């Protein structure tokens, strides 16, 4: 065991459901081990601006079920500079913090790793992002909640699609990764799923839609990941397909930020609780520069460097095949 007496915790990057449950877990694990907690508001920017508050087991009540992050999140340009990180370090030391838990995405982990390399300050990461695109963990916090939000939306849109024989392009989040699109597409029964990992041409798309039509499919749900790369956005895709098939009734729904909010699912709450315990106990064991992850249902650690640079987290190719079979 180390002589860590106070742990700072912050949330950084895009907010994700389950971040509050993770903060709660960090705080309660610290309380369990008699370690004090320093809550840092507004991510790294709050570290630079001394925006701190002590947290105890009672200050995180009624949080497990709440979306977003009560510590607030921010993107901090200043933390990208050595001067900004030095200010943050001086503030943490003045507040008597001995270690830092960062809940965020790979950008936040890059900042945490630099911070450790420059000042030797112990850091531990917890992956929080709805995109699920972090190497070293099968699931990130917020992904399961977002997935369920998207499936619920697809179910509702399907009612209209089938009542009017309409085709819907539904854009879901995922700039670089198709996890949300692929899994929500399978769960929501989409006829076609367009993801960044799989390239196809607009002609392919039009051909497939025609094939579906000939099979007697009168309505179509097409799930499009934000980062799907034909060089066209979802409205342009619609325009193109419409131009080829003027008699189709096509609509576009961009789900946008509703995917980020809302109460975390039980899965995300349990995951957050498990990850928070592991993050704190690993720091108390003297470990640093790791990201907590879940692999084969076991909570484990991946070096931050690997989580950042280890490569893309890969979609299961079998799922892509399953999506194809389901839309036969
Ligand atoms: P999301 O997946 O939601 O985008 P993220 O953690 O990747 O989450 P970023 O905006 O990339 O989000 O990073 C969050 C913050 O981490 C940045 O605002 C910045 O303060 C810090 N950060 C990111 N990259 C670096 C870097 N190369 N050096 C120092 N700090 C960084």
Answer yes or no: is pLDDT of 148 > 70.
yes
Q: Whose CA is nearest to atom 31 of ligand 1?
A: 111
Answer yes or no: is pLDDT of 218 > 80.
no
Q: Are 241 and 252 in contact (CB under 8 A)?
A: no
Tell whether 52 is covered by a domain: yes
Q: Which residues are annotated as a binding site?
A: 14, 24-28, 75-76, 105-108, 129-131, 158, 166, 173-175, 189-191, 215, 217-219, 226, 251, 257-260
Say if ligand 1 is within 6 A of residue 76 CB: yes
What CATH number did the domain enclosing 88 receive? 3.40.50.450
| CA of residue 125 to ligand 1 center, whole Å | 13
116 and 210 co-located in one domain: no
130 and 268 co-located in one domain: yes
Predicted local distance difference test score (pLDDT) of residue 219: 74
For the question of residue 155 being annotated catalytic, the response is no
Tell whether 328 is covered by a domain: no
30 and 82 co-located in one domain: yes
pLDDT band at 23 (very low <50, low <70, confident <90, very high): very high
Answer yes or no: is pLDDT of 117 > 70.
yes
| Domain termination site, one of 219, 239, 260 | 260
Residue 29: CB atoms within 10 A of its CB come to 23
188 and 122 co-located in one domain: no
pTM value is: 0.95
Q: Are 91 and 48 in contact (CB under 8 A)?
A: yes
| CA of residue 226 to ligand 1 center, whole Å | 20
Question: Looking at residues 149-173, what average pLDDT do you find?
Answer: 93
Q: How far apart are CA 183 and CA 205, in angstroms?
A: 20
Q: How far apart are CA 222 and CA 190, in angstroms?
A: 6
What CATH number did the domain enclosing 171 receive? 3.40.50.460
Question: Looking at residues 267-282, what average pLDDT do you find?
Answer: 98
> pLDDT digits over 287-301, tens only?
999 999 999 999 999
pLDDT band at 210 (very low <50, low <70, confident <90, very high): confident
Question: Looking at residues 293-312, what average pLDDT do you find?
Answer: 92
Number of domains in the chain: 2
255 and 272 co-located in one domain: no
Q: Whose CA is nearest to atom 16 of ligand 1?
A: 108
Q: Return the percentage of the chain with pLDDT > 90, whole number.
A: 78
Question: 297 — alpha (psi -120 to 50), left (phi > 0) or beta?
Answer: left
- Domain of residue 138 covers 6-142+264-310
What does 181-193 look like in DSSP terms, one character per residue?
HHHHHHHTT-SEE
């Amino acid at each position: 065991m180390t002589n860590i007496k106070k742990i700072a915790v912050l949330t950084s990057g895009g907010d994700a459901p389950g971040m509050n449950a993770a903060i709660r877990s960090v705080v309660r694990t610290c309380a369990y081990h008699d370690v004090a907690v320093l809550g840092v508001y507004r991510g790294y920017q709050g570290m630079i601006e001394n925006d701190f508050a002590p947290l105890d087991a009672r200050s995180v009540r009624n949080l497990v079920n709440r979306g977003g992050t009560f510590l607030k999140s921010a993107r901090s340009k200043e933390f990208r500079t050595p001067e900004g990180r030095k200010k943050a370090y001086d503030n943490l030391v003045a507040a008597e913090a001995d270690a830092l838990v960062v809940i965020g995405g790979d950008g936040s982990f890059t900042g945490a790793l630099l911070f450790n390399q420059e000042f030797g300050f112990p850091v531990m990461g917890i992956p929080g992002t709805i995109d699920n695109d972090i190497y070293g963990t099968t699931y990130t916090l917020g992904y399961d909640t977002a997935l369920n939000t998207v499936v619920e939306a697809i179910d509702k849109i399907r009612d209209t699609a089938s009542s009017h024989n309409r085709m819907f392009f539904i854009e879901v989040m995922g700039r670089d990764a198709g996890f949300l699109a692929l899994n929500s597409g399978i769960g929501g029964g989409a006829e076609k799923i367009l993801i960044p990992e799989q390239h196809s041409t607009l002609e392919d798309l039009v051909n497939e839609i025609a094939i579906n039509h000939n099979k007697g499919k009168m309505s179509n749900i097409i799930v499009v990941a934000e980062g799907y790369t034909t060089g066209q956005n979802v409205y342009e895709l619609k325009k193109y397909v419409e131009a080829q098939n003027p008699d189709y009734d096509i609509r576009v729904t961009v789900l946008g930020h509703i995917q980020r909010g809302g109460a975390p699912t039980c899965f995300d709450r349990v995951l957050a609780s498990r990850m928070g315990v592991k993050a704190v106990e690993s720091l108390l064991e003297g470990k640093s520069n790791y990201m907590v992850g879940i692999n084969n249902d076991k909570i484990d650690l991946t070096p931050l460097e690997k989580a950042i640079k280890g490569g893309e987290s890969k979609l299961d190719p079998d799922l892509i095949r399953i999506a194809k079979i389901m839309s036969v």
